[in-house]
Amino acid sequence: MTTRPRRATAVVANVHLAPEDHGPFLARAVTAVSPGGHIFVSGHHLDSFDRAGPPFPERLYTEELLAGLLSPLTAQVRRHERPPGGAGSSPLVDVVAWARATGSSGGGR
């Protein structure tokens, strides 16, 4: 079995998978981070549906969903609004998370 080196930080940005693939994908990203390292995740919020991100609402994030997907890590999860894409439209909304990997397995998964 080949062991891959762990990294101090993993970045997952704008990855909008099918719901059944979210958990396994992020679990693998967490295990790629060395103990004490960090994982940063960013994606389109459900509130941006039909204005940004994929055309499938089940592939978008909420703060609660992303926090749950990063469990058992303790993540700081925030909603981030950015200027609208056009005049008179609502702000676009993203979700960002920053978590620290713990233990010898990169995240306890």
What residue type is assigned to position 16 of the chain? Answer: H
Is-contact 59 13, C-beta < 8 A?
no
CATH fold for domain 7-100: Rossmann fold (3.40.50)
pLDDT tens by residue, the chain, 109 residues: 566 667 788 899 999 999 999 999 998 888 888 888 899 999 999 999 998 889 999 999 999 999 999 888 889 999 999 887 666 678 899 999 999 987 654 444 4
| Tokens encoding 84 | 């609208």
Domain boundaries, the chain: 7-100
Is-contact 48 92, C-beta < 8 A?
yes
